[in-house]
Amino acid sequence: MTIKTRLVVATGALLCLATAVIGVVAIGAVTSTMLARVDDQLRELGKQPTFGPTKGQAMPAAASPARPAYQSVAVLILSDAGEVVSAEKAGYYSEPLALPVLPATLPEIGTPASAASADGEIGYRIMRLNQRAVFIRDGAEVIEGTVLLAVPTTDVDAVRDTLTTTLGLTIGAVVVVGVLAALMITRNGLRPVDRMIDTAAAIADGDLGRRVGPSGDRGELARLGAALDAMVSRLVGAITDRDAQQERLRRFVADASHELRTPLATIGGYAELYEAGGVSEKPALDRAMSRVRAESLRMASLVDDMLLLARLDQESGLERGPCDLTAVVADSVDDARAVDAERVITSVLAPGVTVAGDDARLRQVAANLLANARQHTPPGTAVSVTVSTEDGMGVLIVADDGPGMSREHRARAFDRLYRADPSRSRATGGSGLGLAIVASIVAAHRGTVSIEGAPGVGTTVRVALPLVSRSRE
């Protein structure tokens, strides 16, 4: 059974119960009030001096001043044994009402009680009076007995039946209207739930773009829908990130295999050439061994870089402390000038820029950025280096006047083993891990790195690292 059905059924049941209780209470109150009036009538009648025939007379046999056409009360004479020895019926003379069947134990004198006719169709309120009646029956027998009054409750029963019917119809109408209203309210109120169910089913079927969307109100279901949308967005984001990470991992493994295959193939080729006797002479052998050593060093450097990236991913291997970024960059600029004396490298370094970081790793960041500018720009291209502070961050900027990078290449510049040159020729650059290492080191220092530029206007790399707080200084 659905929530909607349960709510409607529960509403109908509660309405039935509530209206039934109200009806029973109302009928009981009205009946009690009317019976109280009948009891008052009995008490007033009981105050009259005599009932029925006078002493020595018989009951009137027809309507007369002593016997009106309609009698509102029945008068019964009871013997000391409790038997009815004489009775005057209530009702019309032509259609008198059946007498009540007296209970086995008569009520106390002056106390009203309930009784009914033999067929149960007529109810009575009866009361014994503190009076004795004496008369002669059959002209000879003298009878003396107790007087008992019985007032029919036909009016009370009629009102009760009418009220019961009216309340029954009213209760039925109220329940029907209430159930219909509950159905409409629950249908409208639970419409967002139906939308959530449809959205969840669509998402489960693979439509990750589906959302519940705004419902136009600020109730609990609206907040639930918004929370569901936020959760789905985060899950989709996590799935997208996972897929992207898996794609990067796949590409990284493929690129690493490619990078390692080249030096391994070179080393294997020279080994096969040596075994075949093709490098038996010393000059050729020396050249072969030199190439084997160069490729092994290149392979070792590549493996070291990949191990460094793995450690940085786990945020291990860093020794954080106050680090003079100005001094680190100044040393790296001097090293770059020594490597390429023909290149113009200008530097504007603010003094005393101290960041929280690992001195050795930050030196690697500066060296990689300068090496990247040197490797990917034509000889003699000017490079500028700036160190400054901005918004509580130490900022390092390395800019060149080289050919620049397209938007596509900038988007993947920090990917591991990515090189803009599709030929992957080593003549145009290194292994493609330089900027990836920069990004990982900066991220491990809780910093940011970005790259800007366009074809023909050069490239600018900006690194921002948190400054050491004054309290720590």
By CB atoms closer than 10 A (0-12, 13-18, 19+), residue 417 is buried
Q: Quickly name the fold that domain 319-466 has.
A: Heat Shock Protein 90 (3.30.565)
Which of these CATH numbers, 3.40.50.1970, 1.10.287.130, 1.10.150.120, 3.90.1720.10, describes 212-314?
1.10.287.130
pLDDT reported for residue 335: 92
313 backbone dihedrals φ, ψ, rounded to 5°: -60, -30
**436: Cα separation from own chain's centroid:** 41
Both tokens of 321, joined, read 């402390």
d(CA 84, CA 42): 19
- At 357, which helix (H) or strand (E)? strand 354-357
Half-sphere exposure of 427 (CA within 13 A, CB side): 2
Cβ atoms of 111 and 104 closer than 8 Å:
no
Q: What's the average pLDDT block by block, 10 residues per block, for the chain (473 residues)?
A: 84 91 92 91 77 44 52 83 80 85 86 88 88 66 78 90 92 91 85 84 85 75 84 88 81 72 80 78 82 82 74 68 92 91 90 90 90 86 92 92 83 73 50 80 89 87 85 42
Specify the domain boundaries for CATH 3.30.565.10 within the chain. 319-466
Q: How far is CA 183 from CA 18, 194, 220, in A?
A: 18, 15, 19
Give the global pTM.
Answer: 0.47
Specify the domain boundaries for CATH 1.10.287.130 within the chain. 212-314
d(CA 83, CA 106): 11
Q: Can you name the residues that pair with 145 across neighbouring β-strands?
A: 133
pLDDT reported for residue 348: 92
87: left (phi over 0), alpha (psi -120 to 50) or beta: beta
d(CA 389, CA 355): 10
409 backbone dihedrals φ, ψ, rounded to 5°: -70, -35
Place of tokens 């996972």: 242
